[in-house]
Structure formats: structure tokens, C-alpha cells
Amino acid sequence: MDPKSFKYFRLLAEAGYLITDTSFTTKYIKKKGQVILNTWHGTPLKVMGRDVADSAYSMGNIERNLLFSDYLVYPNEYMKEKMVSAYMLEGVYKGTILNEGYPRNCIFFDKLKARDVRTALGLDGKKVYVYMPTWRGNLAKMKTDEQMKLMQKYLSELDGMLDDDEVIITKLHPFMAADLDTSGFRHIIPMDPEYDSYEVLSAADGLITDYSSVFYDFANTGKKIILFAYDEEAYMAERGVYVSLDELPFPKVRDAESLVREMRSPKNYDDTEFLRYNCTYESPGAGERILRHVIGGEKVCNEERIYDSSKENVLIFAGSLAKNGITTACLNLLSQLDLDRYRYYVTFQQPMVADDPMRVSKIPAGARIIPMSTKPNYTLGEALAMIRFYKLDRKGSYKKIERMCRRDAERFFGGIDFRHVVQYEGYGKNMIHLFRAFDCDRTIFVHNNMLEELATKNNQHRLSLVSAYRDYDKVACVTQDLVGSTRELAGDEARITVVNNCHDYRSVLERADAEMKFDETTLSTVPAEELKEILGDRSLMKIINIGRFSAEKGHDLLTAAFEKFASVHPEARLIIIGGYGSLYNDTLAAVKRSPAADKIIVIRAVYNPMPILRQCDLFVLSSRYEGLGLTILEADTLGIPVVSTEICGPSGFMREHGGYMVPCSAEGILEGMNAFAEGKVRAMNVDYEAYNKNAAAQFEGLLK
């Protein structure tokens, strides 16, 4: 059935019992009274869920499906352990685990059915092996046509070696099966599509596979299994596995000749321990017992529950995990928290991370993740309400938006009871309202002067900010400097507090020790080798700024100030590093027009700027407005003196720790550069261990 059809959605809405071996569509929300049974689709060899670094970002729909299932079926302890861990179900899954065999594996215990299928397929009197290899589609360097050529080569070799009483039935991935030419083979045939693949597999004398978990299922037959792992090194380099092939009892071969030799040899390995550990609960009649248990209400299966309400759950929305200050601040916070005190969940919008999936790997292992598997869903009426609310500021339209947000909160997170949700990013009107809709304590962070954001950018919605600051249980400003502008927006109704950003100074020190290098996406006005020479030249005075290419960062002020400074100090060099931002080309053009162009280096998108920062002499924060400005802390960690514009955000930190501040103008920044040249600007040398303990305590205070 088409999973996008009206009939499919109608059945999802009307059915009392739903059974799946994977997951339902991202749009599905479980209705009250529905019972969901998830039988999954096999014991895993390859890593799953959170354990797959480059695709953990996309696990959200599977994770939520598991969480809202009433029953999860696990045929062995190994499978249960891996699934519960990979999808972070421990302590929060409220349903029932059934320690029971997979219904689809019952066929392997039906010898009469196997005999009938074998006869129907004309295989009596022959030695039959089924070949079911894994699809290599996840291998970036392995093209489909290359796989086809390799597969055709091996099958041709095998066909030429087999006798007339030997048959290999192939069950390949559809991408390959459609193009594979078997017409000239005498001993190799494709699987008959009129039969279920497990029916044919049950009728065979043995299984040939490689990295497919099908061998866990087929092992129930007690028949021979051969691993044809001709590309093991290449495959394993791309895909992680829970168990090495060498740990399995099955013979492993790499060429056609060895494969034929094993096919003709009797089963000569002991799989007793393998069956005990990996086929623990498999037995005839498992499907019938599960239905009697789930639908009939008979307690005929072994039940287990893992829910634990003794530890509370906290949800943190981290935004898009982009390379910016908010992401850095969030990761720094997580690195400082006691992640065992609560179950911390970090969430983000899956589509926003798809272009750089490895961002998710930066989240500490002690914090769980629960990706939002798609963007918000809304009805036509809700879409019109959003237009009226966001474009026309019609407050009365918010009820429909709230309804949409409550529905999406249930859709994405309904399987977990949260004690507290934290909209840490603090931006994005839809996400502000989504986390506002939770029925628990809610905190929204303020990382910047939002009055300035509203005045200078078109990326905020004033009514959303005002209503959120008044409605959230707590509004957390990352510095005391932001309290005034936040209260001006929110009024006295807001419950405003201060929660300083944590600073992962250890990571800064470690990253600074790494080799200075550019990334594939790095753009620079000088080659990496030339930059290394400049950084290593002690006769040069290196001034640096790190911040996105955006108007509030004041790169135009910085450039104008440096032009005058360089006219007096020809040994000075200015390095501007930005991650992203709409003004990159404008900044580049302005630098090229500058009389000091040969002394200014512009770098875009370098993953680790710390080795560059460490070798500089002065850090200048030239921003017109800012949150805290974590780059100030990073520079100070490395013993680099800092000059900052005296603006809301950084000024509180600078003032508290004796930093050097100047007016927010080209003249003010020039004053700071001159002061440094005269020896008046020193590193603050803040005690970040004490600073972090205080900041972490402030955050945990929100949760009490």
C-alpha cells in the first residue's frame, strides 16, 4: 500500500491494533486507545541509531515509533541490549518488552512447508544455497555499476564451477537485481518473486551472505552458513558493526573457488553458543503466542519492563547545531553538567542538520538525542493563522498555532514525560512556540540583545518574542547585560534570570595544540602555508577577530581602524575568521579596496581556528551588539589579550574580569589597538574552573 495514500492514513487513524517491523510515517500520531506492536526486522550486525555517527541525526522517526509502541519484540538478549542502547530507551520506554521469537522466523521450524516449497520449485535432489548479500549503497566510493560488474564477475565464476546438481538462488537488492543478467547462467537463478524469501530460504540447504543480519534468522535452521566477504576491509571501513566477522562461528571466504569448496563441505563448526546467545527465545509458534498475548490478553509471552520514573527527563533544543556561538555555548554547557543527575535529551530539526550530519557527534555521549524527524505539520487553517499572526500580528490567531504546536510536541516527543524543556537556541518563531506548548516547566534562553536584532535584522518576530518571554516559566539571559533589553521587550511579567554561558576551556587548549590546517570548504585570501609563515614570524604583530560575516560583528569598523593602525605599525597583520554570514563577499570586497589590503587576511569556514588564535598577539571583538561573545573567553584561555567594544553583552564579563573596553566605533577600536601597542592591554587570565562551576549551578537551578 502506498504510504502516502489517503487509504493508508485512514487505516492508521481507524485501526485499533497496528503492527510494524520498522516505523510508521513521520506524520503519524498515535491515537488514544490504539495498541502498537513493533516486531522489528532482524537482529543487527551493523550498528544502529545513535551508534551510526554520520546518520544518527536521522533516527528521530524510528526512535519515537519505538517509544510510543505498546509492545517491542526481542528474540534474544543481544538484540534487546543493542536496540535499547542505540535508541536510548532505557528508563523512558513505558511499554512492554516481549522476550519472544520473531514471527517471521517461525517458518524456519516448519519442515513440512520447507519440503513443499522445495518440491514446488523443482529443487528436489539438488544442493541448494541462497545467496543474500548486503547492499553496498552506503559506501560512498562504491558505485552501483561497480558493484554490478563485481557481482557479475563472481556469479559467472561460480556458475562455471558448479555441478548440475548444485544451485544458487540469488536474492539481491532491487537496485542490483533489476540490472543483473542471469539469462546465461545454468546453476544460478533469481529468487521466485511469488514466494516469500524466507519460505525459499527455509527450503535451502544453506545460506551464503556477507554482512547481512539474515544469518541471525537463518541460524535457527541449524543449516550451514557461509560468509562471502570479498570486500570486508572496504565495507568495514565505511560501516561499523557490533560483532567482528571473526567472532562468528561461520566459515569466511573471499573468492569463488573457496566458496564452492565450502558449499561442498559439511557443516564443520559448532554454533551452540551462537544459538544460545542470538536465538534465545526463537521457537515454533512465536507469532501465534504474540497475537494471543497482545490481542487475546493471554499472558503467554515473557514480559519485561524497563521504565524508571526515579530520574527526571530534561529536553534541550539546541537549534541546528551550526558552527556558531550558540552551538558552542550549548555543547560547553553539556560538557559541564552532571549528565547522570537528569536524563538530558538534546533535540534539533533533522532537516537542518542533513547537510552536515557529523555535527551531532559533538553532543556528549552522556546526553541522549531525539531528533525532530521533519518540519512542523499544519492544516490549511493553521497556515492561514500563521500568516495572520506572523505577518499581521493578529494575536487572536495564536490559538490555532498553539494547537499545531501541541500536536507536534506530542508527535515528536509524546513517548517521554519531561520535567523541564529548555529552548536553548532562543531563536526561530516556530520553535519558540513549539516548546512553549509543553505542559511542564519551560525555559527560553536569550543569547543576544533582541531589541537590536529586531531593529537591524528581519529574522525575528516581535510579538512572538514578547509573548514567549511573558509566558515561559523562566527567561534565561546569558549575561546580566541582556536583562535590561529583555525586560524592555517582556515587561515585568517575565521571570528573568541570568545563566552564564559555560566555557569548555580544556577543549580550547586541546584544539589549540592541533596542527593548523584548512578544511575542504575553507576559503582564504592567502594559502595555508603562507599563513603559517605569518603566524610563525615573531617580528609581526598579529591581530585577530573571529565571528560570522554579519553586520553586528563590526568587520567594517575593524577594517577601518586597522587601516590607520597599520599606517603607523607596518608590521601589523589583521586576520578575520568567519564561519558563515551574508556579508562574506562584502567583507572581502571592502578588504580588497583597503589601502592595507596586503596586511589583511580573510578566512571563511575553518573548523578549528584555535591553532591560529593561539599564535596571535591580540584579539579584538569589534561587535556593534553581542550576547556574551565566547570568542573573548577562548582568546583569554590561550593567554591572548582582548580588546572589546563596550556594548551590552560582553561588557559585563569584561568589566568583572578587568578587560579592556573601547567605544563602539572605528576610532574606539583604533584606541584599543594603540593601547595594546603601548603595553596597556593584558590577558585577563580568568579562573574558568570556578567560572564554569558557577554557570553550571545557575543552569541546574533552573531545573529545581
Three-state SS string across 466-489, please? HHHHHHCCEEEECCHHHHHHHHHH
Determine the Cα–Cα distance for residues 185 and 160; give it in Å rounded to an integer: 8
Give the mean pLDDT of 299-316: 97
Topology annotation, domain 313-498: Rossmann fold (3.40.50)
Give the helix ranges, DSSP H, for 179-278: 197-203, 214-218, 232-238, 256-263, 272-278
In sequence order, which residues have a C-beta less than 8 Å from that of residue 240 and are 6 or more positions away?
46, 47, 51, 52, 53
Residues 6+ apart with CB under 8 A from 12: 18, 24, 25, 28
- Cα dihedral 333, 338, 341, 342, rounded to 10, equals 30
Which pLDDT score is estimated for 136?
A: 67
What architecture (CATH level 2) is domain 6-101?
3-Layer(aba) Sandwich (3.40)
Q: How many CB atoms lie within 10 A of CB 663?
A: 13
Q: What percent of the chain has pLDDT over 70?
A: 98
- CATH assignment, 511-687: 3.40.50.2000
The mean pLDDT value for 467-495 works out to 91
Whose CA is closest to 397, among 387, 409, 389? 389
Q: Are 191 and 170 in contact (CB under 8 A)?
A: yes
pLDDT band at 137 (very low <50, low <70, confident <90, very high): low
What local confidence, expressed as pLDDT, does residue 141 receive? 40
The CATH class given to the 106-278 domain equals alpha beta
Is a pLDDT exceeding 80 seen at residue 316? yes
Average pLDDT over residues 428-456: 93
Q: Hey, where are the domains in the chain?
A: 6-101, 106-278, 313-498, 511-687
Give 480's contacts (C-beta < 8 A, 6+ positions apart).
498, 652
The predicted model gives 365-371 an average pLDDT of 97
Q: Which amino acid is at 507?
A: S
State the amino acid at position 696 in one-letter form.
A
Per-residue pLDDT averaged across 433-456, rounded? Answer: 93
How much is the pLDDT for 144? 62
The pLDDT tens digits of the residues spanning 24-70 come to 999 999 999 999 999 999 999 999 999 999 999 999 999 999 999 99
Position 234 pLDDT exceeds 90: no
Q: Is the pLDDT of residue 328 over 60?
A: yes
- Does position 112 have pLDDT exceeding 60, yes or no? yes
Among 552, 544, 578, 540, CA closest to 324: 578
Partner residues linked to 317 by β-bridges: 347, 423
174-224 confidence digits (pLDDT tens): 766 666 777 889 999 999 999 999 999 999 999 999 999 999 999 999 999
**pTM of structure:** 0.88
pLDDT in tens, 580-615: 788 999 999 999 999 999 999 999 999 999 999 999
pLDDT of 524 reads 96
Q: Residue 121's pLDDT is what?
A: 95
Look at residue 140 in the predicted model and tell me its pLDDT.
38
